[in-house]
Amino acid sequence: MLLKKFKFKIIKENAYSRLGKIETHRGNIDTPAFMPVGTQATVKGAFINDIIKTKSQIILSNTYHLMIRPGINRIKSSGGLHEYMNCNLPILTDSGGFQVMSLSKLNKVDKEKGAIFRSHVDGKKIILSPEESIRVQKGLNSDIVMVMDECLKKNNDYNKTKNSVEISTYWAKRSKKAFGKNPHKALFGIVQGGLFEDLRLKSLSDLIKINFDGYAIGGLAVGESQNEMFNVLDSIKNYMPKNKPRYLMGVGTPSDIIGAVARGVDMFDCVMPTRSGRTGLAFTWNGRINIRNSKYKKDKSPLNKNDKIFDLNMYSKDYLNHLFNTNEMLGPMLLTLNNINFYQQLMMEIRKNIKKGTFLKFYNKYFNKL
């Protein structure tokens, strides 16, 4: 069978917002797109077929977690991540840099060796080099692969951030070499630089010279304000390659997404819809709802009466409140599906309004509401 090559095309632009399509041999992805997070080879609390029913076209999984548990050899023995988790959708794997920063007991970053850290699970010492990260992602057989980078927590230390950018660029070159040539898969570079405009532009310029299939913006959603994040996007939006997909990593809230689309971003991922669903927070077109709140005890209305997917409109807020306050697992499952479905509805409405040339009107209506 002749595999389709990875491609990206822009269909329409509305100011900086872009309507596009990513083509992969596993299926096409309409952009702007949201990727549900399947960190450990599962989107928590949901069957993969239900994720597909929400019109999700791609999911994200995580190199760091999967290399620790269950380990790359177990997944490879099943034929790769798609077979292991019974998922026919395209899969993007991130390189593990964020998790090394946020979860592990980090010993140090060595420019030549990579990230040297201890597992958050059993304390085992691990060395994750750019080459090893790419080797693991190849073993997972993911469709979009991310370069190894260093992700810093929010800081105001210019020299520290500058040094980190230099390391990330060096690792990006090594990642590109380790990835080799595979026209049926994609390798994305990751723009770093914290909140410093000149470092962001330097990082981006160096990555463009290496030439990647797409460009991610990393090192955000690490404690900065929304305005600080938007300032970073504003500082680089005129310099991002126009003919490559742009991916804002780990972001975010509905207003984060709407604001980033307005600044030219094409792809998003975030644990927020699933994590919020597990804790009782529901996303709706009228804003967020904490279903545990006592005011919903006698509310017989559904979260969204017009939503017919999974018959979610058959469950009242009263019933959902009961499920959460009695710790019944059905509650988190229903809200997880509601939230992922809402995020995909949001993306469909964004794409529809870009196509119609009315995205600014959509932005003004929903940016502060959601």
User: Mean per-residue pLDDT for 11-37?
Assistant: 97
In a domain, 20, yes or no: no
Per-residue pLDDT tens over the stretch 168-213: 999 999 999 999 999 999 999 999 999 999 999 999 999 999 999 9
CA distance 196 to 289: 36
Candidate from 64-73, 93-102, 193-202, 299-308 with smallest mean pLDDT: 93-102
Range of the domain at 287: 271-360
pLDDT in tens, 252-292: 999 999 999 999 999 999 999 999 999 999 999 999 999 99
Q: Are strands 7-14 and 114-118 parallel, antiparallel or unpaired?
A: unpaired
Q: Is 213 marked active-site?
A: no
Q: How far is CA 95 from CA 137, 168, 194, 257, 322, in A?
A: 8, 12, 18, 22, 40
**Residue of 94, 206, 256, 307 marked catalytic:** 94
For 227, counting Cβ atoms within 10 Å of its Cβ (0-12 exposed, 13-18 middle, 19+ buried), the class is exposed
- Predicted local distance difference test score (pLDDT) of residue 269: 97
Identify the active-site residue in 143, 256, 269, 307. Answer: 269
Q: Higher confidence at residue 166 or residue 3?
A: 166
Instruction: Give pLDDT, residue 99.
Output: 75
Q: Are residues 249 and 288 in the same domain?
A: no
Q: What is the reported pLDDT for 307?
A: 86
Burial label for 153, CB within 10 Å (0-12, 13-18, 19+), is exposed
| 141 in the same domain as 207 | yes
SS3 318: helix
Q: Is 264 helix (H, G, I), strand (E, B) or coil?
A: coil
Last residue of one domain, picked from the residues 225, 245, 263: 263
Residues with Cβ within 8 Å of residue 368, at least 6 apart in sequence: 255
From 231, 263, 295, the end of a domain falls on 263
Contact (CB, 8 A) for 57 and 72 = no
94 included as an active-site residue: yes
CB 91 within 8 A of CB 58: yes
